Structure formats: C-alpha cells, structure tokens
Amino acid sequence: MSEQRLDALVQNCANEPIRIPGAIQPHGVLLTVDEMSWSVQQASANAAAVLALAGDVAPGQALSRWLGEEQARRLRLVLETESTEDINPLSLSFGDQSFDCLVHRHDGLLFLELEALQPLSPLAGKSLDQRLGRTLRRMQSAKTLAELYTISVNEVRELTGYDRVLVYRFQEQGHGQVIAESATPELDAYQGLFFPASDIPQQARELYRLNWLRIIPDAAYVPVPMIPALRPDNGQALDMTYAVLRSVSPIHCQYIQNMGVRSSMSISLLKNDRLWGLISCGNRQPLHVPHALRAACQTIGQVLSMQISALEDLHAQHQREAKAGLLDTLARAMSEVEGDVYQGLIEHPEDLLALADADGAAVIIEDRLHLIGQCPTPEQVRALQQWVQQQPETTVHTSSLGEAFAPAKDYPHLASGLLAFSLPKPIDNAVLWFRPEVKSSVQWGGDPDKTKVVVANRLRPRESFEAWKQEVAGTARAWTSGDIYAVSDLRRSALESDLSRQVLREQDAVRARDELVAVVSHDLRSPLTVIVMQCGMMQRVIAADISPSSKRLSSAVDTLQRASGRMTNLLEDLLDTSKIEAGRYLIAPHPLEVSQLFEDAWSLLMPLALNKFIDLTFSSEPQLKIMADTERLFQVLSNLVGNAIKFTPKEGRISVTATVDGDFVAISITDSGTGIDPEQLPHVFERYWRIREGNPSGTGLGLYISQGIVKAHGGELTASSEPGVGSVFRFTVPLAR
C-alpha cells in the first residue's frame, strides 16, 4: 500500500467520530429524556429486555412508561431540588433487580444510564469508605512523586482486582511513558516503556480530559445501537461526550485485545485542567467494576492529580530557589548597566548559561547579536529569533527543536533544545538558550513506526507490544520546570528594568524641556520688552510726520508691536503649560471678593463687547468671597469671557454669574454664540484645541491652562454647549469662610 494511502487511513482514524458512535456498551441501558415533555427521545436497543419492561414500551412515550409512575415522579422531584452531581447514583428498581442510575445533562437532553447493581467483593474486612480513607491517607503521606505513584497503582489494583494498573504520563512530544506499575508476576513488565502519541489520538485525549473515568468491561462486546438512530428533535447523531456507557472505537477495542487485555479502565490525571496522564487498568478476562468502586477510583485519581500538582510545584519551587542567586545577579546587572538592559546579561556570560543549565546562549539587542558558548551561526540564530517571536507563548521551550522548526535539523549538535523569550513588539530584543542533542536509547512498547497495520484495506492497530529499542537523535535534555521558571523570572526582570529606564528617560526629557522653556522664556522676554518699548518710541516720533512713507512705517511698527505681544503671550502660555504638565503649577490663594474680580474683568472686557454690541453682564451674590490667586483666577475669567466675546455674534448676550455651591463658588459664563460641535466638545480642554476648532488666532493653550489653574485651586472647569443656542463654561473655586 502506498504511503499516501496509509496516511489517509491514519487521518481517518484520527477523525473518527468517537463522540457520536450511535451505540453503547451492553453492560447497561441508556435513555435520553426531553425535560420539556418528560418523554424518552432515544433508548438503547437492549433497554426493554434489561429492564424487564412490557414489549409495547417505545421511544417517544412518557418517561413514566419506562420508569413507572413513582420512580419517574421521584426523579423529577430530586432534579428540581438537587444538582445531577449530588444525586448520582440514583437507585432504581425494575422487577427484582436494582440499578444504579447515573444522570447528567448535555446538549439539551437529560441522560439516564442504568447499570444493574452488583455486590462489592470483600475488602479485607473493611467497608469501602474505610478502605478509601486509608488509601487517601497513604497518598497524602507520600514525600516523593515516585512513592505517590507506587501507592496509587497498588491501591487501585487491590480495590478493583485488575491484573495490571499503571501510571502513564504524556511527554512533551505527545508520547506516553509508563512511570509506575503494579501487575501480576506472569505479565510482561511495561515499567519505563514509551508508547507513541498515535496510540491515543488527540480527540480521544480530549475525552479523557473531559471525563475523569472510562471503563470497558469486555473489549469483545457487540455494540448496542440507539433507537431511533438519530435524535427525533433535530435529526442529529446523539452526542455521548459525557456518557459512561458510550461505545468506544473498534480500533481501540482491537488494540487492547492485541495487548492481551479483555477489560480496561482509565482514570484521568489532570494538571491545571490539562491532561497530564492516566491511571490505566487492564485485565486478561472480562471484568465489570461496580459504580461504587469506580467512584472510589475516581476519587483516587482526583487526589493523585492534586498531589502531583502540589509535589511538582514544590519541586519546581526548590529548583527556582536554587537559581535565586543567579537571578539576583543578572537582574542587578540589567538594572545597573549603561545602555540597553540586555547589555548586563552579556557582561555575565557564565551566570547566563548557568541560569538555564545551557551549553550556549544568544543575546539579541536590535541589530546586534552576541553569542555565548556553543551556538548556531548568526544567520541561523536570526532565523530562529523570528520564529520565536511568532509563537503565542511569552517563553518558548522545546527539547526537540527540529520537530517544531525544520531548519534546526541542520544543527542538532548545537541546538536540539531551545529555551527563549523575547520582549513585546516593537522592541526587537530576545535571549535564547541552547542545548545539544543527547543520543540515547528509548525502550518502546512495540515498534513506533508500526503503530498501525492495514488488513483488507482497513486500518488496524499493531499486534506486537514487545519491548523495542530505538536510537534517538535530535533530542536534548528536557528543560525542567525550574529552568523555565527562572527564564520567565529573568524576562520579568528585563521588562521591569526596561520600563524603569523608559520612565526615567521620559522624566529626564520632561525636565529638560521644562528647563529649556524656562530659559527661552526668560532670555526672550527681555529683548521682546525692549522691542515693544522701542516700537512705542518710534510711534511717538512718527506721529509728528504725516507723509505717506511715515504712514507705511507706522503700520509696520503696529504689526511689529502686535507680533511681539503675541510672542510674549505664547511664551507665557508655554511656561504655564510646562508647569502644569510637570505638576509644579503653584498658586498663592488668599480671600478675594468676587465683586472686585468681576469689576476688574468688566473694565478690561467691556470695550471688546461694545465693539460687537454684545450685552455683557456680571452678577454675584453680595459679599461673596473666594480663596484664590487673584492674578491667576483673573487670567481664567478673562480667557473664558474673551472666548465668549470672540465666538458670540453681534448683538448677542453674555452673562457671568457667581453662586454658592456647597463649599465652593460656581462661576458660569453663558453666551448666545454658535455653540460647539458635539464631536469637538470632549476635546475643548486639550492642548492646541484651536486646530480642531478652526480658530487660527491664539495659541490653542488658553482653555488647557485655565483648566490647570482651576485644578490648582482645587476646583473643576467644565463645558456644555448646544449648537445654534450657545455655550456654558463653569468653574468652581473654594469658598472663603
């Protein structure tokens, strides 16, 4: 058969619809129930016979016809008051036979799975609860993982009676290894053997992750079909993802029989909700483990999962602590070095290699590449870095780099193992550690290249599980949890150091800008004052001359005066803006009469209002005093009223009012102008808003500075507007008591 045809058959096996087999195993009965009508939608073909029901009972009929009125009523009652997890197993009786009924909901249906109740075998004179309690105490006393695995397989085997019980752990590449075993002496030992990833396809692993336990009492069973074959409500195949009785793949049944096993049970081991491994049980003869014992084994699996996580995390923590000194040295080097933080790593090459127990390392700083120890070529490292940056994980690690990144097959003697991290884009920095391949022998449970055979154009599992030795190349020593944690910690330190430097650089830049603005303002203010004074003197001299040339010169001097005035205002605004942004805007508040503030503002601004025939009014509650910096608050008021005059049409109205608002005085400037576009209103207090507003005059800093001044007083400046009606600017200032 061609390789292409074999690959196609293997792919078909991987895509086998194992969640919707359309049948169950014959050691029980499955009913699906519509809880809206409380009728049975589908039933396994053996239901009537196993439950000793009348021959006219059929799917589509009421649940009470299947369970009897009393049992159906009791089921509905407990489902109304308890969760399905709490009621399992529910005890039901049919004739003289008692049944364990396991209940769960899935895909809009209620699943009822019934198994005939079986007596428990004697457990050395102890009850099941006593025996389980003893087992859990033994597990919790384990000091090492090896001891924990041994206790677990021995206890499960004693409880259930299986010929063989083993702990099977999934490796990084997907293969599994037997790391603990308890078996009868006449069976071949599987301890230490590896089994290829294809023995348990990915979709089967997902079912193991979703279900703590799966049992096959007899692998030579004949599947029992569901009747009808499809769901009556939607015409779809029944999803049995969580069904204990779900029929399993015929290929898997043949697989375990080829191993000399007729009965099997698997208990899932999870870590952080990921499938870590399995407790796998096998028996040479059919064996139906009762639900009570299965539940005890499931509890053992759950406790073992927690213990594995705890002990592995504790081991990783010890490894992490052992590297604490190296981490401190490298973190301090990154924080203290001049230039890029990674430069500190380059200056400590031995510590950098020791941190990950690596033979080589590469430090990439933008366009600079530094190689330490045994590394691929610069070009190969650059290509590898690009691949690392494309990975979703922040820390990338593999001990078989050639399988994940094909170009690495050219240099396995230098980098079969990779542990790396990079900083987020756009920073083009990364650190990579390398380990060379370690050629070794791996004992497989059968030839991994012959995991499937084809008979009569059908894929069948391999028949040989004899130990088979393979020479392995292209694989490095696996990275430990301590290695990965240490590198993750180093990445965090690099980020913190880099962020700290960015903050310091920004602070230095702000400080330098503030100093520059202050110097420029100071150095320019004096010559500008001289220019304004000289312009005034020139105007007086020119005023005596009425010739055309004098008039042109007078106009030029006026322009120069206005430009000088605008430049002076701009310098003042820039200085104020710098102080506000730096949080150093200082005010000197003292009691101030609002009426005096309004009188000064009216004197200054009334001429501007009269030029446009605008009705400008000021009103205040009598004897109202505020705590304010007179000059600064006058700057705010004159700016706001000046803006109102600028944007109010001729013969409009502007009112300025002051009222008490709790511990503050609220001053409002209301105009009848054109208003502000709703899209622009949220931006009015931003710097240079005049650009958005289309106002070519002014610096665009007036409202921004006004807001800063009000905030310095402890108040708030807000704006509201309605196009075509007008605007209201309102600010608050503390009331003087």
How does pLDDT run across 173-195, given as a tens digit for each residue? 778 889 999 999 988 888 888 78
C-alpha 637/C-alpha 226 separation (Å) is 84
Q: What are the φ and ψ backbone dihedral angles of 698, each rounded to 5 degrees?
A: 80, 175
Confidence (pLDDT) at 213: 95
Residue 89: cis peptide before it, omega within 30 degrees of 0? yes
Tokens 């004992």 map to which residue?
443
Residue 426: cis peptide before it, omega within 30 degrees of 0? yes
C-alpha 26/C-alpha 23 separation (Å) is 9
Confidence (pLDDT) at 3: 45
Burial string for 697-735 (b: 16+ CB within 10 Å, else e) reads ebbbbbbbbbbbbbebbebebebebeeeebbbbbbbbeb
Measure CA 657 to chain center.
53
Q: Which three-class secondary structure state does DSSP give residue 507? A: helix
Check residues 66 and 259 and name the one with the higher pLDDT: 66
Task: Provide the terminal-to-terminal Cα distance of the chain, rounded to the nearest Å.
Answer: 99
Binning the chain into helix, strand and coil, the percentages to the nearest 5 are 45, 25, 30
Nearest in space to 488 (alpha carbons), one of 394, 417, 415, 400 = 394
φ/ψ bin of 140: left (φ > 0), alpha (ψ from -120 to 50), beta (otherwise): alpha
Question: Please, what are the domains in the chain?
Answer: 12-16+120-224+247-319 (3.30.450.40), 23-116 (3.30.450.20), 322-438+477-485 (3.30.450.270), 502-581 (1.10.287), 590-734 (3.30.565.10)
Full DSSP string of 699-716 = -S-HHHHHHHHHHHTT--
Q: Which three-class secondary structure state does DSSP give residue 341? A: coil
Pairing of strands 615-620, 653-661: parallel
C-alpha 137/C-alpha 476 separation (Å) is 38
Q: Average pLDDT, whole number, for the chain? A: 83
Confidence (pLDDT) at 310: 87
Confidence (pLDDT) at 439: 66
φ/ψ bin of 724: left (φ > 0), alpha (ψ from -120 to 50), beta (otherwise): left
The mean per-residue pLDDT over the stretch 659-675 comes to 93
**Which tokens belong to 338?**
């001049």
**Which tokens belong to 734?**
């503390």
pLDDT band at 218 (very low <50, low <70, confident <90, very high): very high
User: What value, to the nearest 5°, has the Cα angle with vertex 286 and ends 282 and 292?
Assistant: 75
Do 99 and 92 touch, CB atoms closer than 8 A?
A: yes
pLDDT digits over 631-655, tens only? Answer: 888 888 988 998 899 889 999 999 9
Do 412 and 437 touch, CB atoms closer than 8 A?
A: yes
pLDDT digits over 16-32, tens only? Answer: 789 999 999 999 999 99
